[in-house]
Chain A
Amino acid sequence: MEETKPNLFKITFDGIEVEVEPGTTIMQAARKIAEADRSHDALVPPAMCYYEPLKGTGGKCRACLVKVTQGSAKDTRPMPKLVPSCITQVQDGMVVENTTNPAVLEARKGVVEFLLINHPLDCPVCDQAGECHLQDFAYEHGAAKTRYEEERRTFDRHDLGPYIQLHMTRCILCYRCVFTADQITNKRVHGVMHRGDAAEISTYIEKAIDNDFSGNVIDVCPVGALTDKTFRFKNRVWFTKPVDAHRDCPTCSGNVTLWYRGEEVIRVTARKNEWGEVKEFICNTCRFEKKNTSDWTIEGPAKVLRSSVISANKYRADLVKKPDFALKLANSQYKPIDDSRSYTTDQDQIRQLSIENNDKANHRSQLADKN
């Protein structure tokens, strides 16, 4: 007897063919290619706002724009504009260019620049440094220099309840936390106020998000805008060791990652998949109140993410896989990227990078942080 298979759509992405189910987005199709063959990781469009487990995310940051050069087998015309791959569904016979298309790389470089012009570049004092998607995005797709000479926009820091701090100046308005808050609570207390580049994340009138799962906004935040106050300034991620563990929790699955410094658990987070996404949200008790090894059953070392600085040689220029074209483009339009640094340890690299790129901004925000 023949099995009834759903009709699969065949698409070509950067010259690679893949078959996916109808309803799949271009982004998911690209991820499927990478999941089948890890050497294609660099082909996957970057996602700064899309977050697969959260309904409604995507389409905002424009980091994932790609060129559709053939709409489908039936309608072979190209799409007139670049489209966000995270929310654009595939059609049978669609042909997509990502790293092979100069317009895409140009636009993406623009998005990096736009996201950075008002960013404080305070990585040296930011708890997110080392696991920040904006750092990765800028490193992999941006130019080495900024052309922005104006004042940067700043906001005051706010506490969102006892555990979470909002550092709005670092926010890229990806709306992930807004969707999280929306989907974990039935009260609308967390959202966006004002508009344009004055828009800010807010819990109206600084009302704390009072929900057992509110801590998850920290994990979904791609940058250091929402940080864990129990971890604040405790350590740098690259000094910590992630270990998977679980406990019998009445509220959530109890499956977490513990971050050790020596013998001490200094942070608890949900587990993230290879795309930096949390599949199982955890409760605030597990996250903020269980910081003893004795609270947990240890499973073993956590899988280190592609995006983590803990993964060996993350920022070694000779090992970083950049699409050839991106390198060519970067070389042709801006000053050459300085790839001649010497590499000793990961810490040195990070320090050096931060120092080179962020001198002024660091100084400013360090001063600000002292006050």
Chain B
Amino acid sequence: MAKKILTEYINVPGIDTFEVYRKHGGYTAVEKALKTMTPEEVVEEAKKSGVRGRGGAGFPMGMKWSFLAKPEGVPRYLVCNADESEPGTFKDHHLMKELPHLLIEGMIVSSFALGAHKSFIYVRGELMYVIRILEKAIEEAKEKGFLGKNILGTGYDLELVVQPGGGAYICGEETALLESLEGKRGNPRNKPPFPAIKGLYQSPTVVNNVESISNMPWIINNGGDAYAAIGVGRSTGTKLISASGHIRKPGVYEIELGVSVDEFLNSDEYCGGVRDGHYLKALVAGGSSVPILPAHLITKTANGEDRLMTYESLSDGGFATGSMLGSGGFIVFDETACIVRNTWNFSRFYHHESCGQCSPCREGTGWMEKVLHRLEHGHGSMHDIDLLVDISKKIEGNTICPLGDAAAWPVASAIRHFREEFEWHVTHPHEATQPGAVYMGSAALV
């Protein structure tokens, strides 16, 4: 059995209560950190662990913490990003509803490390019941003296606030999240300045994902080095993968980074393979924003090496033949999936979720969606395919926040790897618009 750092006790009945969580070693990291360590030592363990941000970008967490500005007399904040809205990603939801105390324990330890006395968990607005679970857990922790004033008699104070979002994907972008938290419209900010210098209320702020922070209790209890011993190279530790699509066992799995894609996809411990009677066509490995991969580049890289579930291996080959681990939203497509339709669907999402501040994303996402809609419905032309590539290029890299890139990449990669299928929609509009019609390769065209 693979090592479980986050989910070892997830199936224990009552683990969402303080008593049961405590009985399984809960809150020992708070005791250890607050009573025997300095904040700097906690940051040092996070650095040693090599744990990388689990929200998508994969930036080393300890390094991010060490960038936090520490001007005199200015408060510092820790904000947990629990806005999880990326299509295909549903791991934070699972973690928070099953193990609310794990996140709270992580928040206490991390806040202590950063010298924050008021920390926030910004939860996706649709997850009202999760918000209630978290609030109940916070009450319990407060009653037991793990939150509030003078925690465990150490003199350290921490208030933890759960803030529901308004239901916008863009508020998962860290600076939009901060704007929203301040009670404003969730528009991403231009960077620099980065949140580590000027974040919430213009004060130094760290924003981290739920899963990133939930790793901290284990790292404190077992040491950063023990964490770094798990995984491969710079992909240390374990990762939650939310697997969905045409597989036998969709769900959330904790993997050791470095498991091969083949094993994750096909073994019975995880996805259990593509559903019976069907075969693999494509994979979106890390949430809807990352490039889609065709079957021949999924379990092997372009060089013929085994592709592993690591940051490095999944992005091997760059965007030409690789993708990204992203937030771990593993979406599998079998041969019944129409790539054009799926690309249109993704692009509809980004059009809907663009905040509308910068022109390339505001206008470009809508334009791509309309052209894809036309192609999918049999009214496209060959020229439209190149047009889509050009629009995506003009958005990519030219916007305020990465939502522009996230909208451009799926379109560009789908055309890169499945151009024939797009062309088939142009040359065979009648066939392509039949219910359930899917391009089956050039052989089927005869």
Cβ A196 vs Cβ B185 within 8 A:
no
**Residues 378-400 of B contacting A (Cβ, < 8 Å):** 387, 394-395, 397-400
What chain B residues lie within 8 Å of A10 (beta carbons)? Answer: none
Instruction: Indicate which residue in A82, A111, A195 contacts B359 across the interface (CB closer than 8 Å).
Output: A111
Complex alpha-carbon distance, A111 and B362, angstroms? 11
**CB-based nearest B residue for A111:** B359
| A106 smallest CB distance to B (angstroms) | 8
If A62-B398, A150-B370 touch, does A111 touch B351 (CB 8 Å cutoff)?
no
**Residues 336-376 of B contacting A (Cβ, < 8 Å):** 351-360, 362-367, 370-371, 374
**Residues 74-123 of A contacting B (Cβ, < 8 Å):** 81-82, 84, 87, 106-107, 110-111, 113-115, 117-118
**CB-based nearest B residue for A61:** B359
| A132 smallest CB distance to B (angstroms) | 16
If A62-B359, A62-B399 touch, does A114 touch B353 (CB 8 Å cutoff)?
no
Is B190 an interface position by the 8 A CB rule? yes
Complex alpha-carbon distance, A192 and B186, angstroms? 11
Cβ A114 vs Cβ B352 within 8 A:
no
Is B168 an interface position by the 8 A CB rule? yes
Cβ A195 vs Cβ B354 within 8 A:
yes
What chain B residues lie within 8 Å of A147 (beta carbons)? Answer: 387
What chain B residues lie within 8 Å of A107 (beta carbons)? Answer: 394, 398
Cβ A114 vs Cβ B360 within 8 A:
yes
Complex alpha-carbon distance, A113 and B387, angstroms? 12
Q: How large is the interface on A (under 10, 10 to 19, 20 to 34, 35 or more residues)?
A: 35 or more
Complex alpha-carbon distance, A191 and B190, angstroms? 19
Cβ A60 vs Cβ B400 within 8 A:
yes
If A110-B394, A110-B398 touch, does A60 touch B367 (CB 8 Å cutoff)?
no
**CB-based nearest B residue for A188:** B184
What chain B residues lie within 8 Å of A195 (beta carbons)? Answer: 168, 170, 353-356
If A62-B399, A81-B397, A192-B185 touch, does A110 touch B354 (CB 8 Å cutoff)?
no
Complex alpha-carbon distance, A65 and B395, angstroms? 12
Cβ A150 vs Cβ B367 within 8 A:
yes
**CB-based nearest B residue for A106:** B394
If A62-B359, A150-B371 touch, does A197 touch B394 (CB 8 Å cutoff)?
no
What chain B residues lie within 8 Å of A84 (beta carbons)? Answer: 190
Complex alpha-carbon distance, A148 and B371, angstroms? 9
Please count the residue pairs between chain A and chain B whose beta carbons lie under 8 angstroms apart in the complex.
91
| B145 smallest CB distance to A (angstroms) | 41
**CB-based nearest A residue for B355:** A195
| B216 smallest CB distance to A (angstroms) | 31
What chain B residues lie within 8 Å of A173 (beta carbons)? Answer: 356-357, 359, 362
Is A237 an interface position by the 8 A CB rule? no
| B144 smallest CB distance to A (angstroms) | 42
If A59-B400, A197-B351 touch, does A191 touch B185 (CB 8 Å cutoff)?
yes
Cβ A198 vs Cβ B356 within 8 A:
yes
What chain B residues lie within 8 Å of A87 (beta carbons)? Answer: 190
What chain A residues lie within 8 Å of B360 (beta carbons)? Answer: 62, 110-111, 114
**CB-based nearest B residue for A81:** B397
Complex alpha-carbon distance, A194 and B357, angstroms? 11
If A110-B360, A114-B394, A115-B359 touch, does A196 touch B354 (CB 8 Å cutoff)?
yes
Is A172 an interface position by the 8 A CB rule? yes
Is A199 an interface position by the 8 A CB rule? yes
| A101 smallest CB distance to B (angstroms) | 13
What chain A residues lie within 8 Å of B354 (beta carbons)? Answer: 195-197
Complex alpha-carbon distance, A361 and B387, angstroms? 22
| B83 smallest CB distance to A (angstroms) | 15
Complex alpha-carbon distance, A227 and B300, angstroms? 60
Instruction: Indicate which residue in A117, A151, A192 contacts B363 across the interface (CB closer than 8 Å).
Output: A117
If A150-B367, A195-B170 touch, does A114 touch B397 (CB 8 Å cutoff)?
no
Cβ A65 vs Cβ B365 within 8 A:
no
What chain B residues lie within 8 Å of A113 (beta carbons)? Answer: 394
Complex alpha-carbon distance, A118 and B357, angstroms? 15
| A294 smallest CB distance to B (angstroms) | 45
One digit per residue, 1 when the CB lies within 8 angstroms of any chain A CB and 0 when it does not, for chain B 59-102 equals: 00000000000000000000000000000000000000000000
What chain B residues lie within 8 Å of A115 (beta carbons)? Answer: 359, 363
| B406 smallest CB distance to A (angstroms) | 14
One digit per residue, 1 when the CB lies within 8 angstroms of any chain A CB and 0 when it does not, for chain B 323-344 equals: 0000000000000000000000
Complex alpha-carbon distance, A122 and B180, angstroms? 36
**CB-based nearest A residue for B359:** A114
What chain B residues lie within 8 Å of A196 (beta carbons)? Answer: 351-356, 362, 365-366
Complex alpha-carbon distance, A173 and B168, angstroms? 19
**CB-based nearest A residue for B405:** A81
| B218 smallest CB distance to A (angstroms) | 34
**CB-based nearest A residue for B170:** A195
Cβ B363 vs Cβ A199 within 8 A:
no
What chain B residues lie within 8 Å of A106 (beta carbons)? Answer: 394
**Residues 331-366 of A contacting B (Cβ, < 8 Å):** none
**Residues 191-214 of A contacting B (Cβ, < 8 Å):** 191-192, 194-199
What chain A residues lie within 8 Å of B351 (beta carbons)? Answer: 196-197
Complex alpha-carbon distance, A325 and B365, angstroms? 29
What chain A residues lie within 8 Å of B371 (beta carbons)? Answer: 150
What chain B residues lie within 8 Å of A172 (beta carbons)? Answer: 359
Complex alpha-carbon distance, A199 and B400, angstroms? 17
Cβ A59 vs Cβ B190 within 8 A:
yes
Complex alpha-carbon distance, A31 and B352, angstroms? 37
Complex alpha-carbon distance, A293 and B286, angstroms? 68
Complex alpha-carbon distance, A59 and B175, angstroms? 14
Complex alpha-carbon distance, A81 and B395, angstroms? 12
Complex alpha-carbon distance, A256 and B357, angstroms? 32
If A60-B357, A84-B190, A107-B398 touch, does A199 touch B370 (CB 8 Å cutoff)?
no
| B360 smallest CB distance to A (angstroms) | 5
What chain B residues lie within 8 Å of A61 (beta carbons)? Answer: 358-359
**CB-based nearest B residue for A116:** B363
Please provide the 6 A-B residue pairs with the shortest distance between their CB atoms, ordered closest to farther: A110-B394, A199-B356, A114-B363, A196-B354, A59-B190, A150-B370
In the complex, given contacts A113-B394, A172-B359, A196-B354, what are 13 additional A-B residue pairs having Cβ atoms less than 8 angstroms apart?
A60-B400, A81-B398, A82-B398, A106-B394, A111-B360, A114-B363, A114-B364, A115-B359, A115-B363, A175-B357, A192-B356, A195-B353, A197-B362
Sample (20) of A-B pairs whose CB atoms are under 8 Å apart = A60-B400, A62-B358, A62-B359, A62-B360, A65-B398, A82-B397, A87-B190, A107-B394, A107-B398, A113-B394, A114-B360, A118-B366, A150-B367, A153-B366, A173-B356, A173-B362, A175-B357, A196-B356, A196-B362, A197-B363
